[in-house]
Amino acid sequence: MKRFFVIAILLVWACSAWAQTDEYRGFQFGVSARMEGVIGSYWISGNATAGYRFNQGNYLGLMSGYLMGSGVETQFRGIPVRLDYINYIPLGASRRHSFIVGGELGGNYMMVQESGRSYDGTQWIIEPRTRTGVDPYISAKAGFDFNIADFTHLQLGAFWLFPLGLGITAGFTF
């Protein structure tokens, strides 16, 4: 009975020690998939972010990836380049999971293919046109960070694109 009691105490101690996380800081890498949209168009993207987590609460990184989508008579592809800020607000006594708030600022380098219409005097002609450029990007985001293991986290969130867009995201950080 004494041996059983000692083993039980050691197991409880080991589990509580594993549940406690020290203040994390250092390099952080993440990958995510998202779906975003504004009035008249939508796009999906795969992104990677790399940056530095200053302490338990603040992360600043650079995000890039690939996006593709469509709108009214348009098809587009692009490469997003953004600064990514996240503030982690730990939840619960173990502080393993967090509520996250943050924002992104940057731009999307876009190649847009549009269906242009022109009139040559006798008939309407639909001809594809291509344009490139940088679209500015500003968003605010909120969500949850779930600690799956001490080396990886699952992040789920929603964000608001300024001025009239919404999006959702899911990804992993390491």
pLDDT tens digits along 64-106: 999 999 987 788 899 999 999 999 999 988 788 999 999 999 9
% of the chain with per-residue pLDDT over 70 = 84
For residue 99, what are the β-bridge partners? 89, 144
User: Is the separation of the CB atoms in 89 and 58 below 8 Å?
Assistant: no
Write down the H helix ranges in the chain.
2-19
User: Is pLDDT at 45 greater than 60 in this prediction?
Assistant: yes
Give the helix ranges, DSSP H, for 20-172.
Answer: none
Instruction: Judge contact between 100 and 157, C-beta under 8 A.
Output: yes
Indicate the SS3 state at residue 123.
coil
Query: pLDDT tens digit string along 49-75?
Result: 999 999 878 999 999 999 999 987 788
Given this model, what pLDDT does residue 23 score? Answer: 56
pLDDT of 7 strictly over 60: no
- For tokens 């969500």, the residue is 143
